[in-house]
Amino acid sequence: MKRIFLFQSIIFVLGVLTITSACTKKEIMQVPGTVTKTSFGLMPDSTQVNLYTLVNRSGITMKVTNYGGIITSLMVPDKNGNPADIVLGYDSLSGYLKATPYFGALIGRYGNRLAKGKFTLDGTEYILAQNDGPNHLHGGVIGYDKVVWEAEDFKTDSAVGLKLHYLSKDGEEGYPGNLDITVTYTLSDNNTLTFDYTATTDKATPVNLTQHSYFNLAGSGDVKSHELMIAASKYNVVDSTLIPTGELRDVKGSPFDFTTVKPIGKDLVAAGGKPIGYDHNFILDTKSINDLAVRVVEPTSGRIMEVYTDQPGVQFYSGNFLDGTITAKGGNVINQYNGFCLETQHFPDSPNQPEFPSTILKPGEKYHTTTIYKFSAK
């Protein structure tokens, strides 16, 4: 009788363990073609911040928080079908609330730099924060990367996505006009990630929105062996503070020539800079969003990233300022060249350089721009 009871007890325990295991698997399983919303923590003022997990039907999982529109994770399969997280970031909200190099974030009102933190528009001089040496960078002290956006997730027959909305008020960070912004992230089943930016204003204002994810298609290590092509025959020459001098220089025969594929690390030293590396706007030769602007291949994993955009430029940043002082996801220390950025954009300092394409949005006009990242592996 005791043996029967013991046997029944063992069966019961095994059954509980099986049920528990099944529940655990169900909880962590990501269902293709879905968006899941979970809590990502609280802001210092107790505002709720959420994390949205987007899963397409082709093996990509992306996590985005409505704090700064930040892409916290992007799991992409390699040539053997094995996924790895290809963007840099933190495990929790607390990491992003600290000083951060804009990991994964939406950038605005003006992406990139404005010389001496000021510009003049319609006869009025506007003074902005000098948060990058003598210059203004990525929207200021509290740019769009540091605010909580309204968020609404969505699904279609072939994609999942997140629509983000923010009203940037007149005078915020020194900029004129109430800027009403909607940014949509769409992850399709054919492994494209589309960023669609729209905005309107009630007062003339410069606008230059972009996305600042740091990529590493290997999932770890440095990116120097990544093979890069940029369809740009010219780039903006910059001064010692990374402000364009106004010269548009031909890339041919220089370290800035990526018109034919070469490893990112090949000409890093020759590119110069302090610290050494690339942090330059490349002037795209593309005519429309249908033209390939950038292609990156990681040879070992076989992962490929292609960029299509209707913007006139792309800032290629090779992670020069990453210096080993940041501990990111999984306790990993982020060192120099551990990630690269491809920020599609208008030229830096355009409001102060009238010969550059205009970035001024006026009342009655609509700002609308689109960038597509396409992922594959072979």
Residues 6+ apart with CB under 8 A from 186: 159, 160, 161, 192, 193, 194, 196
Q: What is the 3-state secondary structure (H, E, C) of 49-101?
A: EEEEEEECCCCCEEEEECECCEEEEEEEECCCCCEEECECCCCCHHHHHCCCC
Structure tokens at 72: 């916290």
Out of 138, 173, 343, 346, the active site residue is: 343
The Cα 313–Cα 230 span in angstroms is 10
The Cα 108–Cα 180 span in angstroms is 12
Answer whether 53's CB lies under 8 Å from 33's CB: no
Out of 212, 226, 280, 346, the active site residue is: 212
β partners of residue 162: 153, 185
Q: Is 298 a catalytic residue?
A: no
User: How far are the Cα atoms of 135, 147, 178, 217, 240 from residue 141, in angstroms, in the given order?
Assistant: 12, 11, 18, 30, 22
How many CA atoms within 13 Å lie on the side-chain side of 121?
A: 20
3-state secondary structure of 250: strand
How many CA atoms within 13 Å lie on the side-chain side of 269?
A: 1
The single residue listed with the structure tokens 């690390």 is 265
The Cα 207–Cα 346 span in angstroms is 9
For residue 373, which of 340, 328, 332 has the smallest C-alpha distance?
Answer: 340
The Cα 293–Cα 313 span in angstroms is 9
Q: Is 212 a catalytic residue?
A: yes
The Cα 78–Cα 219 span in angstroms is 10
Residues 6+ apart with CB under 8 A from 267: 255, 256
Catalytic residues: 212, 343
